[in-house]
Amino acid sequence: MKGKIRVGLIFGGKSAEHEVSLQSAKNIVDAMDKDKFEITLIGIDKEGKWHLHDRSHYLLNDENPKLIELNKTNKNVAIVPGENNNQLLNVSESVSLDQLDVVFPIVHGTLGEDGSTQGMLRLGNIPFVGSNVLGSAVCMDKDIAKRLLKGSGIEVAKSLTFRKHQQKNISFAEVKNTLGTPFFIKPANQGSSVGVSKVKNEEEFNRGIKEAFDYDHKLLIEENIVGREIECSVLGNEEPIASLPGEVMSQGDFYSYETKYIDENGAVLKIPADMTEKEVQYVQETAVNAFQLLECEGLARVDFFLKEDGKLVLNEVNTLPGFTKISMYPKLWEASGISYAELIERLIALAIKRHHRDEGLKSSID
């Protein structure tokens, strides 16, 4: 590919993780080699409208995670599906934009990480970073992911699944009898600990059920696993590699949204984790196994609990992990010898390579 690679960075989104995405976008833009990449910034506001941005002023309060905002513009963007060279349209001015070589969709959570954005980009015939539709959707739904992992012999936390129409029939006493206390209530389709509650009594239970159903129509109630919180980054397509594992030592009750993205002192990140060579290999092999099992490509962060007896319990697989300055995914790769800037280059190269691979498939019967 001659000249600069034209990269479209899509960020923000109609999601509870909107502000996290803004932080990730800022760090990616700051780290990208401007001699190699030409960046087109596309910010999605909380109402779902797409904005074309200038690099000089695309965020407000970008140094404060609590106040960071998308700076809306009067230039709105739409994707035009098909094989043509005019994939993006500035609908405010009725002009097409330069064709993009690849898109980096750093939209965390609902509509960005669940296969929705990925399907749209496929319809637009645009290469993109990260897992395809199936891998994205499967990993976003913790219930479905746990079923597949458990069915393949990977240990996961014991859990119960409920849908919103069953809300009145969810009994604290029955859950306590099955899982013990404390336990966790989680929306099935959310990330970054949004809507997650740690429950010790019936009052917390009732509040947690309501909060989880505010974010999704399905929730999981999971047993509390006592163990070290270990995370591992995975990178690649057909032959993925795993980083050195890191450990999260939360200073609060659990690794909450606030701890992950707002409070830099909310958790201690031990990178790499203090583990034996055998334990490191066990985590890396299981992370890659889960990555491939769940049809992931490009990148994912795989989160575990390492119990005192040496057993490894997989918590979740995140297909678009945070890229903020305190995020584990890039930090683990830095500890493994891949810098932030190089990591972005590799992810873009993997996206383009997969697109070329997929273009080789037949789309009609001879």
Quote the mean pLDDT of the chain: 91
CA of residue 119 relative to chain centroid, distance? 16
Return d(Cα 328, Cα 349) in angstroms, integer. Answer: 21
Look up tokens 């509509």; give the residue.
111
- Which of the two residues, 179 and 91, has the higher pLDDT score? 179
Tokens at 10, concatenated: 């899509």
Among candidate residues 207, 242, 245, 204, the one with its CA nearest the CA of residue 224: 204
Contacts for 100 with CB less than 8 Å, ≥ 6 apart: 6, 7, 8, 40, 87, 88, 126
Spell out the SS3 assignment of the chain: CCCCEEEEEEEECCCCCHHHHHHHHHHHHHHCCCCCEEEEEEEECCCCCEEEECCCCCEECCCCCCCCEECCCCCEEEECCCCCCCCEEECCCCEECCCCCEEEECCCCCCCCCCHHHHHHHHCCCCECCCCHHHHHHHHCHHHHHHHHHHCCCCECCEEEEEHHHHHHCCHHHHHHHHCCCEEEEECCCCCCCCCEEECCHHHHHHHHHHHHHHCCEEEEEECCCCEEEEEEEEECCCCEECCCEEEEECCCCCCHHHHHCCCCCEEEECCCCCCHHHHHHHHHHHHHHHHHCCCCEEEEEEEEECCCCCEEEEEEECCCCCCCCCHHHHHHHHCCCCHHHHHHHHHHHHHHHHHHHHCCCCCCC
Tokens at 340, concatenated: 């932030």
Mean pLDDT, rounded, for 82-109: 80
Asked if the model's pLDDT at residue 256 lies above 80, the reply is no
Contacts for 296 with CB less than 8 Å, ≥ 6 apart: 131, 135, 139, 234, 240, 317, 319
CB atoms within 10 A of CB 269: 15
Return d(Cα 342, Cα 334) in angstroms, integer. Answer: 9
CB atoms within 10 A of CB 238: 10
Spell out the SS3 assignment of 150-172: HHCCCCECCEEEEEHHHHHHCCH
Mean pLDDT, rounded, for 81-101: 74
Rg, the chain, Cα only: 21
Look up tokens 């509040």; give the residue.
207
Cis peptide upstream of residue 187 (ω within 30 degrees of 0): no
CB atoms within 10 A of CB 346: 17
pLDDT in tens, 219-253: 999 999 999 999 999 999 999 999 999 999 976 66
> pLDDT exceeding 90 applies to what percent of the chain?
75
**Position 236, amino acid:** G
pLDDT in tens, 274-332: 999 999 999 999 999 999 999 999 999 999 999 999 999 999 999 999 998 789 999 99
- Which of the two residues, 79 and 352, has the higher pLDDT score? 352
Mean pLDDT, rounded, for 164-190: 95
**Position 120, amino acid:** M
Q: Of 204-208, 260-264, 357-361, give the range with the top mean pLDDT.
A: 204-208
| Domains identified in the chain and CATH numbers | 5-128 (3.40.50.20), 138-155+226-354 (3.30.470.20), 159-223 (3.30.1490.20)
CA-based diameter of the chain, in Å?
64
Q: Report the pLDDT value the prediction gives residue 288, as an integer from 0 to 100.
A: 98
Q: Report the pLDDT value the prediction gives residue 79, as an integer from 0 to 100.
A: 83
Contacts for 147 with CB less than 8 Å, ≥ 6 apart: none
Least confident of 99-108, 117-126, 205-214, 357-366: 357-366
Mean pLDDT, rounded, for 60-75: 91
pTM for the model: 0.91
